[in-house]
Amino acid sequence: MAIELAPNRRTLLGGIAAAGIGLVTAGCTTANDERNAGGGGGGGGGKKPITIGYIDWDEDIAATYLWQKILQDKGHKVTLKHVSDAGPVFVGLDQGQVDLYLDAWLPATHKTYWDKYGKNLTDLGVWYDSAPLTIAVPDYMQIESLDQLKSIGSQVGNKIVGIEAGAGLTAAAKKMIKDYGLSGWQLQTSSTPSMLAALKKATDEKKPIVVTLWRPHWAYNAFPVKDLKDPKGSMGKPDSIHSVGRKGFEKDFPDVAAMLKKFQMDDKTLSPLEEEVVQKNKDAPMAGVEAWLKDNPDFVKSLG
């Protein structure tokens, strides 16, 4: 069984079982997807319809709804296909059931899928160039590097607040504890929501805390946090986030491919987009996109 390390969703995602792998499987498209397909900005306009596959990673949700809005406004009918993890999306791209996926983490996180299907896919470029696993603290703490953690152990009870026990991020944090000689330190594992709740409580009260985190994430926009430098490289090298199309995508959608190749985001643009779409408007993500575009009026113009 193929395994992918998924830092954003914090679990070691299972590989692709032969049964139920394709995106035509019942239940893969949510009611919200069906309701939004082709809506909002046009019903096709004579242009070929586009199917975008996505999973429950915050940056993927945000980017997918952003591009649904952009493409609908350009006259495309857009259908969203939601699945549980990246494996079925790559299969859908390979089989032509999905035209576009906006959240391929390469070269490491989705290596298994890229090695298997990449030869039949189209890499449309990097839109977020550094997606690292991190250890973070509030920006009011007087610490800048992981090799300074020992000095603040008493402030945080020698504890790092982590996420799910089976996460790739958790494995990296355990390696970091060993590499930096943090004997007596505890990595507290629970869940991503629990970690974020603890981070919110600590920063609201201006108290010290150490957490496992990753970029991109809306927490960097919502809380006063900073990443600690990692001179030993224990947390691993960052991935880049790519847009990936099915075979023949550039030929069938030359206008879209050209825009995607100009698509660029960084923390200053992506974190507020995630916060609008995934947090403030989680039940109406398109409203979040529209609010973000109102604050970023030149973004679509930058795509050509």
- Checking if the pLDDT of 88 tops 80, the result is yes
pLDDT > 90 in the chain, percent: 72
- Checking if the pLDDT of 165 tops 90, the result is no
221, amino acid identity? N
> What is the arithmetic mean of pLDDT over 293-302?
95
Report pLDDT digits (tens) over 129-156. 999 999 999 999 999 999 999 999 999 9
According to the model, what pLDDT value does residue 221 have?
86
Report pLDDT digits (tens) over 168-213. 799 899 999 999 999 999 999 988 889 999 999 999 999 999 999 9
d(CA 203, CA 232): 28
Would you put residue 214 in left (φ > 0), alpha (ψ -120 to 50) or beta? beta
> What is the arithmetic mean of pLDDT over 254-263?
97
Identify the band that residue 46 occupies on the pLDDT scale cut at 50, 70 and 90: low
According to the model, what pLDDT value does residue 85 have?
80
Dihedrals φ, ψ of 156, to 5°?
-115, 10
- Checking if the pLDDT of 41 tops 80, the result is no
- Checking if the pLDDT of 26 tops 60, the result is no
According to the model, what pLDDT value does residue 108 have?
86
> What is the arithmetic mean of pLDDT over 47-65?
94
The residue that leads in pLDDT, 164 or 285, is: 285
d(CA 158, CA 209): 10
Burial of 17 (0-12, 13-18, 19+ CB in 10 A): exposed
Q: How many Cβ atoms sit within 10 Å of the Cβ of residue 179?
A: 15
Identify the band that residue 47 occupies on the pLDDT scale cut at 50, 70 and 90: confident
According to the model, what pLDDT value does residue 255 have?
95
According to the model, what pLDDT value does residue 57 have?
85
Report pLDDT digits (tens) over 98-116. 999 999 999 988 998 999 9
From residue 23, give the alpha-carbon distance in Å to each of 4, 17, 123, 219. Answer: 19, 13, 20, 31
User: Which is nearest to 64 in space by CA: 99, 24, 88, 92?
Assistant: 99
- Checking if the pLDDT of 288 tops 90, the result is yes
The residue that leads in pLDDT, 25 or 63, is: 63
According to the model, what pLDDT value does residue 166 have?
77
From residue 301, give the alpha-carbon distance in Å to each of 262, 273, 296. Answer: 11, 17, 10
Report pLDDT digits (tens) over 229-241. 999 999 999 999 9
For residues 160 and 186, is the Cβ–Cβ distance under 8 A?
Answer: yes
214, amino acid identity? W
254, amino acid identity? P
> What is the arithmetic mean of pLDDT over 84-89?
88
- Checking if the pLDDT of 8 tops 70, the result is no
